[in-house]
Structure 1
Amino acid sequence: MMQEWGKFLLRLALGILLLFHGIHKILYGIGGVEALLAAHSLPGWIGYGVFIGEVLAPIALIVGLKVRIAALVIAANMAVAIVLAYGKNVFALGPHGGWVIETPLLYLAAALAIAMIGGGRIGFK
C-alpha cells in the first residue's frame, strides 16, 4: 500500500508543480515560448502545444487519468523545452550554482519514472 501512496505523491508533486507553469502561461501568454521557437526557425503556433504538456497532462496526472500517456507527454514537453531553452548550453552551470537544466531535467526524469511504473491505484482510471 505504501508503494501506491508513493506513486500518488510523485504524480501529485509533478502534476501540481508543472501545472503552475501552465497557469502562468494561461495568465501571461506564451510569448517566451514563441520567441524560443522563432529563434530556432519554428512557427510560433507550435507553442500552443505547451498547454497540453503544462496544463492538460498535469491535470491528468493529478486525478490519475491516463497517467502513462500524460507522463510521456510531459517528458516530451520537457525534452523540447530543454533543447529550445538551453541548446548548446545544456552542460552550463547556473549563475547561483547548480546545473542550468536541473529543474526541467527533474520534471523529465519524474515523468519518465511515472511512465515506467504507472500511476498506481489511487485516482481515476
Structure 2
Amino acid sequence: MTFDKDFLRDNDLGLLLLRLMTGGLMLFHGIHKLLYGVSAIEGMLAGIGLPGFIAYFSLAAELAASLLIVVGAWTRVAAAVMVGNMAVAILMAHLGDIFSVDPMTGGWAIELPMLYLLGAAVLCLTGGGKYALTKGHITD
C-alpha cells in the first residue's frame, strides 16, 4: 500500500472542509434563531433606532447562506452574504470588545465572529472548489 502525498496538498479538499466548518457551524445559529426567534436581535435593533424586521435578514442569512456554503452552491455570493451578516453582528453586539481579550481564555474577545467572517471572506476569494455543487463560474 502506498501513501499518496498529494492527498495532503488537496486545495479542493481544504475548501470543502472550510465550507463545512464555516457554513455548517453557522447553520446552528440559524436553526437556533428559527426555533427560538429573533427577539434578542430585534431588541438590539430597536435600541439603536432601527426597525425590528431587519432581524429576519440575519435569520435568512444564517440559514440560507449557510446551507448554500455547505453544499457549495453559489459559494461566493453566499459567503459575501455571511461576511455582511457577521460584520453587522460584530458592529451591533461586539463593538465594545473589538480591542479586548477574554480574561478566561486569553483569546481575542471577538474571535468566534471573526472566524466566521474571515472563513467566509476566504470563500469569497476562492469559491467552493471542485467538490462544490456549482463550480467554475464567477459566482461559484
TM bracket (short chain)? over 0.9
The total of aligned residue pairs comes to 125
Give the aligned residue type for 2:132: G
Q: Distance in 2 between matches of 1:28 and 1:96?
A: 28
- Unaligned residue ranges in structure 2 (runs of 5+): 1-6, 135-140
In the alignment, structure 1 residue 87 sits paired with structure 2 residue 95: yes
Q: Distance in 2 between matches of 1:94 and 1:43?
A: 31
Give SS of 1:96's match.
coil
**Structure with the larger helix share:** 1
TM-score, normalised with respect to structure 2:
0.84
| Equivalent in the alignment of 1:99 | 108
| Equivalent in the alignment of 2:119 | 110
- Unaligned residue ranges in structure 1 (runs of 5+): none
| Equivalent in the alignment of 2:18 | 10
Larger Rg: 2
| Equivalent in the alignment of 2:130 | 121
Cα deviation digits, residues 51-76 of structure 1 (max 9, x gap): 22210000001111000000000000
Q: Distance in 2 between matches of 1:86 and 1:93?
A: 12
How far 1:95 sits from its partner (Å)?
4.4
Equivalent in 64, 70, 74 of residue 62 of structure 1: 70
Kept in 1, the 8 Å contact 2:38–2:59? The answer is no
How far 1:48 sits from its partner (Å)?
0.3
Structure 1 stretches of 4+ with a deviation exceeding 6 A read none
Q: Distance in 2 between matches of 1:29 and 1:114?
A: 28
Q: 1:40-59 counterparts in 2 under 5 A?
A: 40-59=48-67
TM-score, normalised with respect to structure 1:
0.94
